[in-house]
């Protein structure tokens, strides 16, 4: 579901404008110091710790300025990437299993959603789900096994009347492991996977179940105008490009939302989101310009920062020199001044020494990761015979909240590399082109000229996190191991993890995978995005999760 696309309409001009306004606002406003997150475990900060746990009231209207350029289209897989799922997907829909995002202490796992329990066959191939009874869609029709069949037919059965090629494309990786599915009875469904696949629940948690009646009535094309799920909120008003208003689904099977109304507004320009928050037009702004963080803290806003599975990295072209040599890759990884990078973005990210952040179960605790060590970097370059004269070409996207602030960050990278004797030629590309590069890989004729590229994937689920390092995923046969890195040991570890059904043991194998991959460094991690958002002090009950999405049912507005 293209979660990594997030909001990327914001191109260079927006970043430029954001920087400008950030500076201006700093000039206009007071500045104070605030405490950033500490290392050790996941980084986190909430300006007012009591706001998250305050459950003393209810009601109110919450208005959110999204960084999306449009209202997420509320189809089975909402558009607008991570924000689409965050604000529309998890609110309007349920999946068979949901994410437990009502806590921020650990990366969310999956919990019962529309399925209240499940079991696995002895060969670990067939999963049987007992469905929740008495659940109704927002259009009043009943949820049952037929609705589950309908949802999967829409994605997988090409001759089905309501089969949707776009929805299949969005959910492609989540259904790839499914060999077959069937209705056992009105409250029971079974899925058979094409190989032992312990990640299956992560796949299912991303597949929303829409109302079959609504789709039959309006057809695939018109359905988004009449979208109907079983989620905690239902759509009350939807004007494409302008506004979406959600109201509580009072018949919700879980916790009925405390809010009276949730209003979503698209504001792709960071400066506009910031001003909208400061003027009281909205109560919640996604990723305002980082230059304004200190001022916002000083003004009493809740500046929320927390580690979640989203790292920025440089992916290396391992097909050819100089990055076919692991020593050169490691040299770059040791040569990046991550703390300096973090300072540039005002602490909106944390230093990334591995792909996974500290506190994430898939981080390898036996590998210390890449800290800033220019001497070691120079020594590694010397060992590789590249002490001087090394020139590389690096592609980076020109903007987008999910990419953080690539312009200044890449200039810092360029400077760091100069310090260890590497000359970097930076090539700004539109985000769409960087995705094309990621899909086609660095061996493709269009992109083989680049030695490395800057990227920021979602790593919330095992496949999202690690598929890019599997041999079978090297383009064009697979997607999207863009660097072309290949390791039989890593492939075997991943297969073993997929075949391990004890969560702790599986996570340990994934951590080993991470360690093995990181030591050989097909990528150099740079920063962990800390999911910057700023809330008015009136917003209560929001728990910042270690996740791309969250739980809005406990949120309410204080007068």
Partner 1 sequence: MLVMLVRRLAMVVPTLLGVSIVVFLLMSVLPGDPLAGLLAQDASAADRAALEQSMGLDDPLPVRYVHWLGDALTGDFGYSPYRRRDVADLLGTAFRNTLQLAVASAAVGIGLGVALGTIAAVHRGRLLDRLVSVVAMTGISVPSYWVAILLIIVFSANLHWLPAGGMSSGGGGLLDTLKHLVMPAFASAFVSIGVTARMMRASLLETYGQDFVDTLRAKGLTGRQILWHVAKNAASPVLTVAGLQVGFLLGGSVLIETIFSWPGLGQLIFQAISARDFRVIQAGILVVAVTFVLVNLVVDLLQLVIDPRLRKAA
Q: Which of residues 407-436 bind partner 1 (CB under 8 A)?
A: 429-433, 435-436
Nearer to partner 1, 244 or 516 (CB): 244
263 binds partner 1 (CB under 8 A): yes
The number of residues that bind partner 1 (CB under 8 A) is 82
Distance (Å, rounded) from C-alpha 238 to C-alpha 3? 22
Query: In the set 32, 105, 161, 165, which binds partner 1 (CB under 8 A)?
Result: 165
Within 8 A by CB and 6+ apart from 308, the residues are 107, 357, 460, 529, 530, 531, 545, 546, 547, 548
Query: In the set 92, 147, 276, 392, which binds partner 1 (CB under 8 A)?
Result: 276
Distance (Å, rounded) from C-alpha 234 to C-alpha 227? 9
Nearer to partner 1, 17 or 379 (CB): 17
Query: In the set 26, 54, 70, 496, which binds partner 1 (CB under 8 A)?
Result: 70
464 binds partner 1 (CB under 8 A): yes
Decide: helix, strand or coil at residue 145: helix
Asked whether the beta carbons of 85 and 156 are under 8 A apart, the reply is no
52 binds partner 1 (CB under 8 A): no
Nearer to partner 1, 463 or 521 (CB): 463
Binding letters toward partner 1, positions 208-247, x by CB under 8 A:
-------------x--x--------------xxxxx-x--
Please report which helix (H) or strand (E) contains residue 514, including its range.
helix 503-520
| DSSP characters over 317-372 | -TTSSSTTSHHHHHHHHHH--HHHHHHHTTTSEEE-SSSSPTT-TTS-TTS-----
Asked whether the beta carbons of 349 and 342 are under 8 A apart, the reply is yes
Nearer to partner 1, 171 or 232 (CB): 171
Near partner 1 by CB under 8 A, which window of 351-359, 464-472, 519-527, 547-555? 464-472
Query: In the set 44, 79, 211, 354, which binds partner 1 (CB under 8 A)?
Result: 79
The minimum distance between CB 332 and partner 1, in angstroms, equals 24
The minimum distance between CB 164 and partner 1, in angstroms, equals 9
Q: Which of residues 1-30 bind partner 1 (CB under 8 A)?
A: 1-5, 8-9, 11, 13-14, 17, 20-21, 24-25, 28
Near partner 1 by CB under 8 A, which window of 160-168, 330-338, 361-369, 383-391? 160-168
By the 10 Å C-beta count (0-12 exposed, 13-18 middle, 19+ buried), 156 is classed as: middle
The minimum distance between CB 463 and partner 1, in angstroms, equals 6
- Phi, psi for residue 42 in degrees, rounded to 5: -60, 140
Name which of 14, 81, 69 is nearest 407 in CA terms.
Answer: 14
Near partner 1 by CB under 8 A, which window of 106-114, 183-191, 272-280, 537-545? 272-280
Distance (Å, rounded) from C-alpha 291 to C-alpha 273? 13
Distance (Å, rounded) from C-alpha 378 to C-alpha 296? 41
Nearer to partner 1, 4 or 370 (CB): 4
The minimum distance between CB 438 and partner 1, in angstroms, equals 9
Q: How does DSSP classify residue 132? A: P
Report the alpha-carbon angle 153-159-164, nearest 5: 55
Nearer to partner 1, 339 or 446 (CB): 446
By the 10 Å C-beta count (0-12 exposed, 13-18 middle, 19+ buried), 487 is classed as: middle
Near partner 1 by CB under 8 A, which window of 93-101, 166-174, 322-330, 488-496? 166-174
Nearer to partner 1, 89 or 171 (CB): 171
Query: In the set 463, 497, 516, 539, which binds partner 1 (CB under 8 A)?
Result: 463
For residue 172, say if its preceding peptide bond is cis, omega within 30 degrees of 0.
Answer: no
Nearer to partner 1, 140 or 476 (CB): 476
Name which of 395, 462, 460, 468 is nearest 432 in CA terms.
Answer: 395
Name which of 490, 498, 467, 511 is nearest 124 in CA terms.
Answer: 498
Near partner 1 by CB under 8 A, which window of 116-124, 477-485, 492-500, 528-536? 477-485
457 binds partner 1 (CB under 8 A): yes
Nearer to partner 1, 55 or 180 (CB): 180
The minimum distance between CB 195 and partner 1, in angstroms, equals 15
Nearer to partner 1, 209 or 265 (CB): 265
134 binds partner 1 (CB under 8 A): no
Distance (Å, rounded) from C-alpha 527 to C-alpha 354? 9
Q: Which of residues 312-371 bind partner 1 (CB under 8 A)?
A: none
């Amino acid at each position: 579901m293209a979660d990594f696309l997030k909001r990327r309409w914001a191109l260079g001009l927006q970043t430029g404008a954001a920087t400008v306004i950030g500076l201006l606002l700093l000039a206009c406003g007071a500045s104070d110091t605030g405490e950033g997150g500490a290392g050790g475990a996941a980084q986190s900060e909430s300006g007012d710790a009591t706001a998250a746990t305050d459950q003393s009231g209810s009601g109110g209207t919450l208005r959110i300025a999204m960084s999306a350029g449009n209202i997420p289209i509320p189809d089975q897989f909402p558009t607008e990437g991570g924000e689409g799922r965050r604000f529309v997907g998890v609110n309007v829909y349920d999946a068979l299993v949901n994410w437990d995002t009502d806590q921020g202490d650990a990366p969310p796992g999956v919990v019962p959603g529309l399925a209240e329990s499940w079991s696995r066959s002895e060969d670990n191939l067939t999963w049987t789900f007992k469905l929740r009874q008495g659940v109704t869609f927002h259009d009043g029709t009943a949820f049952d096994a037929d609705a589950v069949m309908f949802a999967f037919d829409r994605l997988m059965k090409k001759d089905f009347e309501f089969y949707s090629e776009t929805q299949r494309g969005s959910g492609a990786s989540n259904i790839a492991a499914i060999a077959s599915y069937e209705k056992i009875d009105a409250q029971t469904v079974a899925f058979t996977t094409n190989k032992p696949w312990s990640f299956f629940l992560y796949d299912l948690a991303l597949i929303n179940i829409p109302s079959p009646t609504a789709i039959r009535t309006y057809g695939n094309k018109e359905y988004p105008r009449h979208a109907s799920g079983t989620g905690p909120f239902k759509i009350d008003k939807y004007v494409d490009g302008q506004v979406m208003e959600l109201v509580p689904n009072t018949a919700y099977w879980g916790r009925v939302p405390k809010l009276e109304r949730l209003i979503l507004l698209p504001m792709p320009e960071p400066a506009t989101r910031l001003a909208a928050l400061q003027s009281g037009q909205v109560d919640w702004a996604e990723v305002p310009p980082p230059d304004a963080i200190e001022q916002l803290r000083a003004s009493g806003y809740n500046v929320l920062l927390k580690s979640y599975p989203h790292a920025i990295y440089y992916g290396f072209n391992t097909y050819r020199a100089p990055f076919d040599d692991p020593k050169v890759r490691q040299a770059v990884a040791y040569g990046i001044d991550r703390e300096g990078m973090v300072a540039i973005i005002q602490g909106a990210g944390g230093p990334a020494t591995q792909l996974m952040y500290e506190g994430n179960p898939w981080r390898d605790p036996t590998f210390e990761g890449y800290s800033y060590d220019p001497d070691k970097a120079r020594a590694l370059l010397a060992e590789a015979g590249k002490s001087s004269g090394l020139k590389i070409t690096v592609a980076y996207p020109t903007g987008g909240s999910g990419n953080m602030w690539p312009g200044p960050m890449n200039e810092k990278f360029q400077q760091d590399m100069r310090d260890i004797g590497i000359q970097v030629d930076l090539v700004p590309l539109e985000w769409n082109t960087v995705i094309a590069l990621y899909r086609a890989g660095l061996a493709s004729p269009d992109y083989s000229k680049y030695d490395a590229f800057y990227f920021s994937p979602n790593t919330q689920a095992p496949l999202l996190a690690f598929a890019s390092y599997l041999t079978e995923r090297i383009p064009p046969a697979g997607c999207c191991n863009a660097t072309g890195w290949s390791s039989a040991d890593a492939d075997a570890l991943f297969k073993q993890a997929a075949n391990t059904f004890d969560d702790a043991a599986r996570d340990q194998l994934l951590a080993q995978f991470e360690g093995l991959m990181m030591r050989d460094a097909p990528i150099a991690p740079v920063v962990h995005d800390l999911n910057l958002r700023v809330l008015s002090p009136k917003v209560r009950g929001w728990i910042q999760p270690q996740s791309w999405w969250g739980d809005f049912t406990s949120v309410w507005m204080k007068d």
